[in-house]
Structure formats: structure tokens, C-alpha cells
Amino acid sequence: MQLYQPSVLNKLTSLEARLLVISFATLPRLQAWVPFFRANFIEPFYQERGLKRTTALFDQTHFVANPSLAVYRAYGLGRNSHLKVYGPDILWQYAQWALEGKPLKKPTEDPLQRGGNFVVGRDSRLTLSHLGRDQSDRPKISEILAGLH
């Protein structure tokens, strides 16, 4: 969600950045998830804050299915423990979403698969590598933007 804040979107657009989301879901599941995520998380995020919704970057985000996990292995993303996946921070986030009335879906793929965030420059150099400790661990926006320069 942090990448879709208007100020961040403007900065990403000015840098001509593109987002690539690689999922370990199958293509049909990913195709179902994208509109679900948009309707239940992106749209309410803008509405709750009274922000003018812009879809430019979301529409330019490429979603890729990688159920073989080849890309995950190439970037060194293994699996997490149950405690890391369902630890206090994650359970707290789920509780907040439930209180907000956001639908929670039971995972259909491997919930222990570790995630990460990477910035790859136009010259194909890796300028940011962030392997998440757990599902909620993401780099700061400032780190992502620094990786784009």
C-alpha cells in the first residue's frame, strides 16, 4: 500500500519507474487476486483518506505468476517459520483488517514462502535487495526511492 500513496506515486512517475509484482500463485489465482486487492485494499485506502484516486501506476504494474518459484530461488527467497508468518505483527494486522471489515482470505498457496523487495535499474543492476523477516517486513519508501537513483 505504501507505494500507492499519491506523493510516492508522483515521485515514481517522475522517475519513470515501473513496478513488477512476482507472485508464487498460479496465473488464474493471480488474475483473481489483482481485482480483489484493488477493490478491497487500494480503493478503500484512497476513500478513507479522502484522496483523489489515481490508477496510473497500478495500471502500469505488471503482475507475473511464478508458481515454480524459479525467481524466488534466484533471489535467495526461502521459506519462513510458522512463528514468523503468524507472529504478533501479522496477527495484529489481520485483526485490524477484520475490524475494518476487510475480507480475509484463507491462503491457497504456501504461506511460509518468504517475500522480498528488489529494485533493478535500467542497466539491470540490483540497487536494492530487501529480504523480509516476515510478511509485514518491507523496506522504507526512502530506501526504495534511493534505489531508483
8 A C-beta contact, residue 88 and residue 134: no
Global pTM value: 0.72
Other Cβ atoms less than 10 A from the Cβ of 22: the count is: 20
- CB-based burial, 115-132: b 16+ in 10 Å, e otherwise: bbbbbeeeeeeeebebeb
pLDDT value of residue 11: 83
What's the Cα-to-Cα distance from 92 to each of 9, 54, 87, 95, 125, rounded to whole Å? 27, 29, 9, 5, 36
pLDDT value of residue 84: 80
The pLDDT profile of the chain, 149 residues, written as one tens digit per residue, is: 567 677 787 788 788 888 888 998 999 999 998 898 888 888 888 888 887 766 666 777 888 999 999 999 999 988 888 888 788 878 888 899 889 888 787 777 788 888 888 998 888 889 999 988 777 788 998 898 888 87
8 A C-beta contact, residue 81 and residue 112: yes
pLDDT value of residue 71: 92
Report the number of distinct structural domains present in the chain: 1
Residues found in the chain:
149
Enclosing domain of residue 24:
2-147
Q: Looking at the DSSP assignment, which residues form a beta bridge with residue 20? A: 62
